Chain A
Amino acid sequence: MTAAAAGGRRAVPLGWRVARLVQRRVETSTAQTLVLSVPDWPGHLPGQHVDVRLTAPDGYQAARSYSLAGPADGDRIALTVQRVPDGEVSPYLTDAWVEGDPVEVRGPVGGWFVWRPAQTAPVLLVAGGSGVVPLMAMVRARRAAGSRTPFRLIYSVRTPADVIYADELRTRARDDPGLDVAYVYTRQAPDGWRGEPHRIGLADVNTYGWPAELEPLCYVCGPTGFVETVADLLVGLGHQTRRVRTERFGPTG
């Protein structure tokens, strides 16, 4: 089945399936990409997510959502997980989970926060921290499909060392025609970056985004407060609410 077909609906309610860790890639000091093998994975669309469920020996269960980081490769999917220091699930996935160990996965889910390669409207992606994960899935899918849809990504991070997918973004900004990448640093900017570290604001969205008249599709993803701020800015700049799609990852940055 193609990813496009599978991203739609299926005839049966969705259950949990057992996934195993195949490979782990360190992205930053707090984020890792985990490659999972999920038997009979049906494919998915960029922007969709899975729920991951852990079961303790005493039967206690905890489930969290994680975005799919790129296109499926047969039975393999990739998630990029940022460790939340006092968290229940993310420290297990990034520090304790060893290759071959099972977790349960339910998905793919989500039909709203997705980008389909057949779409041609310009796209603005705005990411805060690990919110870049589903947006990177869109960037990768765009290239894989040979799409010429113009994409702009604004990526807010604390410091240059917190940029997830740093090398790949550098290469893609150079080699993927029609893809622009701009960074906003909140705590420490690299040498030569114009301006002082700051939280994303109107000037950033205005400078690096698309004018509302072009009717772009905007995808905003990150911590809840970040998404709130950016979505309000975009609507304030005249973007229609229904063209501003959001995915909130949770409490803070």
Chain B
Amino acid sequence: MTEMSYLDGNMLDGPLRELFAVDLSTATGRCASCGMVGPMAGLRVYAHAPGLVGRCPACAEVMVRLVRAPDRAWLDLRGITYLQVPMPTVEPFPRPL
């Protein structure tokens, strides 16, 4: 595998949308290893490993790992301390029926 053989976090959008209802490419994550906060789209994704491995662009530690089998998926998020996901503005108050 060469140095250049990674893609970016954008390519995780499809695989993660199988699991989540929201698009995580605009979410920001905090690296558990170095503390960097950045967009998921900015991760370096290695697709040759078993599954997809997303590494921190600052310290290269693994932040997310997704392995997909025909009948299940493993999602390992231990390299992320939090994910902040933009959400549509909440209705100020439930409307009367």
Contact = CB atoms under 8 A, between A and B. Distances in A.
Interface of A: 8-15, 49-51, 63, 65, 106-107, 109-113, 224-225, 228, 242, 245-252
Interface residues of B, number: 25
A224 B25 contact: no
B26 A112 contact: yes
Nearest to B2: A251
Given A51-B14, A224-B4, A11 B25 contact: no
Contacts of A107: 14
Contacts of A110: 10, 13, 23, 25, 41
B77 interface: no
Interface of B: 2, 4-11, 13-15, 17-23, 25-26, 39-41, 88
Contact of B5 (A50, A111, A224): A224
Given A9-B23, A111-B26, A14 B11 contact: no
A251 B6 CA distance: 8
Contacts of A242: 39
B25 A111 contact: yes
Nearest to A112: B41
A6 to B, nearest CB: 12
Smallest CB-CB A-B distances: 8 pairs = A112-B41, A109-B13, A14-B17, A51-B14, A111-B26, A111-B23, A112-B25, A224-B4
